[in-house]
């Protein structure tokens, strides 16, 4: 059997590992264009701040890859020739396959304003972008960052670490309003302001101004201008669909796949950011843009490719991240989803969050250590944990494991409930049960 995998992201690599765990002798070829191979994209935030060097970003060793015994082709797949069961690489070489996985991920939505092509304008899709940003960041100079989700904030923090004066433009009246509540947004904003970041609410960029083909400033929609040396944006992502589109595969918002990650062509699978996967539990087709679903989809796709029928079952969304230096875990359904202009921007955003059932909200705010729980009838639907992470593991287990919390339901919703203590007691009792 000849397997081909396009993309050396987490979905592609997980598929490779799954294939090799079953088929020890089949011929596997992986084709990818990223010059840096496999690395943690979420880790790029820490690369920007200088906390992780390039080396630590690589989750797999050379020895591990060698043990998988596959052929690696560095190049760009330019066409999928379905009738021939072959791929065209860099418009010349042909590679044949019996089973193919498309795991080409997503890319930043480009900034569509005059001046967007000037030198000094950046996005953050991959390691090369991160390197470019670090190289251009200069102490004492000014940057403008555009975008409402985690990636934009990561860029802001990276630039601040490099000593830049940062203007951060937000379209709405607060940060990441489709996931965070008002209090949480303000916690993040206050911390940014304390670091010297200038926040501009209700503002949009209409033009990037340049001198000698380099960024010299920006114009806002109210006509005012800000002088700056660098502009960075993270205004959304979109799946890389061109290859699948040209090959005539069924596409909606992503490549349409069933719960076995199989496209309308039974020899071709898709996984990760590029795939819109059917979830048998909710009976919906979901486009995720998160590391864990990409890994799980890739692994399930690999097993299906070797003939081991495995359904991909989406688990509750889980994202551990850092917002303005504050460790934040977001589990399950937490947002209201009123702010449509942020859809697709938020890393850590999952569509499940926007169709959440009616939920009661219990809140407990202790300055920066904030815990917010979404309490359903018999179970917890979601949680936001900012700062102290003691409860994050128990909450993950309770929410993802769908545990019955009816015994503490009323306690959680009682006026002035000490919800952290209630959860801690519940968890201790559970663990101590014989």
Ligand X SMILES: Cc1cc2nc3c(=O)[nH]c(=O)nc-3n(C[C@H](O)[C@H](O)[C@H](O)COP(=O)(O)OP(=O)(O)OC[C@H]3O[C@@H](n4cnc5c(N)ncnc54)[C@H](O)[C@@H]3O)c2cc1C
Question: Where does this chain bind ligand X (CB under 6 A)?
Answer: 6-12, 31-34, 41-42, 44-45, 76-77, 103-105, 124-125, 150-151, 240, 243, 272-273, 289-292, 294, 319, 321, 347-348
Minimum distance, C-beta of residue 143 to ligand X, in the bound complex (Å)? 17
DSSP letters of 294-345? HHHHHHHHHHHHTT------PPPPEEEEEETTEEEEEEES------GGGTTT
Residue 252's Cβ-count burial label (10 Å; 0-12, 13-18, 19+) is exposed
Q: What's the rounded Cα separation, in Å, for the pair 305 and 1?
A: 10
Contacts of 66 (CB under 8 A, 6+ apart): none
Name the residue nearer to ligand X (CB basis): 78 or 369.
Answer: 78
Minimum distance, C-beta of residue 78 to ligand X, in the bound complex (Å)? 7
Minimum distance, C-beta of residue 121 to ligand X, in the bound complex (Å)? 17
Query: Do 133 and 331 meet the contact criterion of CB atoms below 8 Å apart?
Result: no
Minimum distance, C-beta of residue 240 to ligand X, in the bound complex (Å)? 5
The sign of the CA dihedral 12, 17, 19, 20 is positive
Bridge-based pairing state of the strands 2-6 and 27-32 = parallel
The torsion angle over the Cα atoms of residues 10, 16, 20 and 25, rounded to 10 degrees, is: -160
Minimum distance, C-beta of residue 280 to ligand X, in the bound complex (Å)? 21
Name the residue nearer to ligand X (CB basis): 152 or 226.
Answer: 152
The sign of the CA dihedral 113, 116, 121, 122 is positive
Minimum distance, C-beta of residue 272 to ligand X, in the bound complex (Å)? 2
Bridge-based pairing state of the strands 284-287 and 275-279 = antiparallel
Cα distances from 340 to residues 7, 142, 153, 312, 381, in angstroms, run 30, 30, 19, 28, 22
Minimum distance, C-beta of residue 275 to ligand X, in the bound complex (Å)? 8
Name the residue nearer to ligand X (CB basis): 75 or 172.
Answer: 75
Name the residue nearer to ligand X (CB basis): 38 or 426.
Answer: 38
Name the residue nearer to ligand X (CB basis): 99 or 409.
Answer: 99
Name the residue nearer to ligand X (CB basis): 14 or 177.
Answer: 14
The torsion angle over the Cα atoms of residues 221, 227, 232 and 236, rounded to 10 degrees, is: 0
Tokens 């190289």 -> residue: 135
Name the residue nearer to ligand X (CB basis): 197 or 244.
Answer: 244
Minimum distance, C-beta of residue 50 to ligand X, in the bound complex (Å)? 15
Name the residue nearer to ligand X (CB basis): 70 or 427.
Answer: 70
Name the residue nearer to ligand X (CB basis): 79 or 85.
Answer: 79
Q: What's the rounded Cα separation, in Å, for the pair 405 and 89?
A: 54
Minimum distance, C-beta of residue 320 to ligand X, in the bound complex (Å)? 7
Tell how many helices (H) and how many strands (E) occur in the chain: 11, 26
Q: State the CB neighbour count (10 A cutoff) for residue 415.
A: 4
Q: Strand order of the sheet with strand 77-81?
A: 77-81, 86-89, 93-96
């Amino acid at each position: 059997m000849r397997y081909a995998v396009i993309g050396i992201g987490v979905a592609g690599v997980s598929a490779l590992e799954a294939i090799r765990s079953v088929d020890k002798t089949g011929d596997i070829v992986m084709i990818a264009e990223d010059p840096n191979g496999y690395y943690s994209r979420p880790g790029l935030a820490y690369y920007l701040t200088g906390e992780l060097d390039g080396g630590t970003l690589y989750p797999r060793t050379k020895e591990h890859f060698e043990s998988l015994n596959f052929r690696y082709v560095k190049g760009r797949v330019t066409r999928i020739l379905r009738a021939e069961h072959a791929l065209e690489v860099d418009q010349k070489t042909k590679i044949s396959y019996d089973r193919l996985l498309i795991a080409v991920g997503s890319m930043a939505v480009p900034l569509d304003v005059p001046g967007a092509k000037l030198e000094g304008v950046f996005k953050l899709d991959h390691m090369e972008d991160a390197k470019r940003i670090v190289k251009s960041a200069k102490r004492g100079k000014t940057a403008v960052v555009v975008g409402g989700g985690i990636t934009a904030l990561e860029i802001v923090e990276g630039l601040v670490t490099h000593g830049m004066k940062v203007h951060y433009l937000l379209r709405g009246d607060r940060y990441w309003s489709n996931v965070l509540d008002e209090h949480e947004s303000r916690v993040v904003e206050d911390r940014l302001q304390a670091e010297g970041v200038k926040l501009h609410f209700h503002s949009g960029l209409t033009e990037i101004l340049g001198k000698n083909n380099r960024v010299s400033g920006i114009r806002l929609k109210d006509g005012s201008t800000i002088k700056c040396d660098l502009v960075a944006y993270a205004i959304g992502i979109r799946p890389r669909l061109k290859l699948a589109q040209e090959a005539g595969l069924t596409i909606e918002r992503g490549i349409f796949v069933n719960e076995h990650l199989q496209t309308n062509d039974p020899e071709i699978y898709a996984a990760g950011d590029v795939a819109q996967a059917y979830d048998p539990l909710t009976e919906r087709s979901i486009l995720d843009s998160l590391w864990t679903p990409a890994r799980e989809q890739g692994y399930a796709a690999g097993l299906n490719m070797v003939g081991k029928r495995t359904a991909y079952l989406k688990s509750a969304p889980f994202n551990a991240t850092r917002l303005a230096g504050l460790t934040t875990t977001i589990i399950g359904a937490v947002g209201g989803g009123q702010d449509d202009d942020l859809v697709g921007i938020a890393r850590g955003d999952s569509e499940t969050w926007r169709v959440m059932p009616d939920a009661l909200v219990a809140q407990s705010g202790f300055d920066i250590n904030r815990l917010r729980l979404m309490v359903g009838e018999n179970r917890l639907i979601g949680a936001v944990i900012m700062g102290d992470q003691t409860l994050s593991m128990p909450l993950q287990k309770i929410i993802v494991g769908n545990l019955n919390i009816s015994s503490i339901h009323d306690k959680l919703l009682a006026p002035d409930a000490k919800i952290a203590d209630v959860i801690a007691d519940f968890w201790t009792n559970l663990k101590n049960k014989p």
